[in-house]
Amino acid sequence: MAMVIKSRKRKRHGHTPVEQIRYAPIDERDRRRFEYLNDKIWKNDVTCVNMLRLNRASFFHFCKLFRDRGLLEDTTHMCVEQQVVMFLHTIGHNVRNRVVATNFGRSGETVSRYFNKVLHAIGELRNDFIKPPSSATPSKIQGNPRWDPYFKDCIGAIDGTHIRASVPKEMEAAFRGRKSYTTQNVMAAVYFDLRFTFVIAGWEGTAHDASILRDALERPNGLRVPEGKFYLVDAGYGAKPGFLPPYRGVRYHLNEWGSNPV
């Protein structure tokens, strides 16, 4: 069905009627978009993981969660699945707006608008996926003579990672640290089941790990370490109550730990 935008005819003040603007049928474009998703995204789990970093079951479960929570909704020509596909493809491959717009048959403005919608929706799920660590002794430590009782009060590990960031030219010096490109230094705390318990992002790539940890501890809703518990950290964070770095001057060999199934 062709879309027609009717103009209001003005006869006063010498205005002449404007001819109606007609658009081509959009059903065919929608059909081609879904064909692209079926052939290039959802064809099988291998293709889906390559394109989105998620298998098909996880992807559709993710979309259902957004829809059930009312965080994203279908529009006339953009279902929730399409919105999430464009977002995951962008962050999974670090592709630019114009590339996504070309691949998915959308305008750059549309891609940008729905990217922000999905990003906000994911942020609203933070309490579902980022939870405080348990105060109980982890099952991987409890009863294991190699770790228990030495690490019975350990509640996880903290480390930082550098993620590429796009910043204004005048700010690049602060964000260009150990990498040749601009990055932000993101600190994360992870429990033994690989569940994130705390994440702080936004710091410049040149920021020291100890400064980021201090900021995380000083924030009103920041990182909290239960009494008597501690996190394992690297030497950059320093030794302080609640944080245990490696012993200085001791060489740790990867071949002693890399193949350890525990």
Identify which has the larger pLDDT, 10 or 131. Answer: 131
Q: Where are the beta strands (DSSP E) in 59-195?
A: 154-164, 183-190
pLDDT for the residue 254 = 60
The candidate with the shortest Cα–Cα distance to 111, out of 99, 122, 123, 94, is 99
pLDDT for the residue 5 = 40
| Per-residue pLDDT band at 9 (split at 50, 70, 90) | very low
pLDDT for the residue 16 = 64
Q: What is the mean pLDDT of the chain?
A: 84
State the average pLDDT over residues 141-166. 89
pLDDT for the residue 134 = 79
The candidate with the shortest Cα–Cα distance to 96, out of 84, 83, 86, is 86
Q: Which residues contact 56 (CB under 8 A, 6 or more apart)?
A: 42, 44, 45, 48
Say how many Å lie between the first and final Cα of the chain, rounded. 61
pLDDT for the residue 189 = 94
Find which of 55-64, 120-129, 146-155 is predicted with most confidence, using mean pLDDT: 55-64
pLDDT for the residue 261 = 53
State the average pLDDT over residues 201-210. 91
Distance CA 3, CA 196 (A): 48
Structure tokens at 146: 């190699």
Q: Which residues contact 234 (CB under 8 A, 6 or more apart)?
A: 159, 209, 245, 246
Residue 122's identity, in one-letter code, is I
Structure tokens at 125: 């799920």
The candidate with the shortest Cα–Cα distance to 100, out of 87, 84, 81, is 87
State the average pLDDT over residues 223-234. 92
Identify which has the larger pLDDT, 14 or 67. Answer: 67
SS3 category, 34: helix
Identify which has the larger pLDDT, 214 or 166. Answer: 214
pLDDT tens figures, 23-45 = 555 677 888 888 888 888 888 99
The candidate with the shortest Cα–Cα distance to 231, out of 211, 218, 245, is 245
State the average pLDDT over residues 140-157. 88
The answer, yes or no, to whether the previous bond of 149 is cis (omega within 30 of 0) is yes
pTM of the model: 0.66
Percentage of residues in the chain with pLDDT exceeding 70? 85
pLDDT for the residue 17 = 65
pLDDT for the residue 1 = 39
In the predicted structure, residue 209 carries a pLDDT above the cut 80 = yes
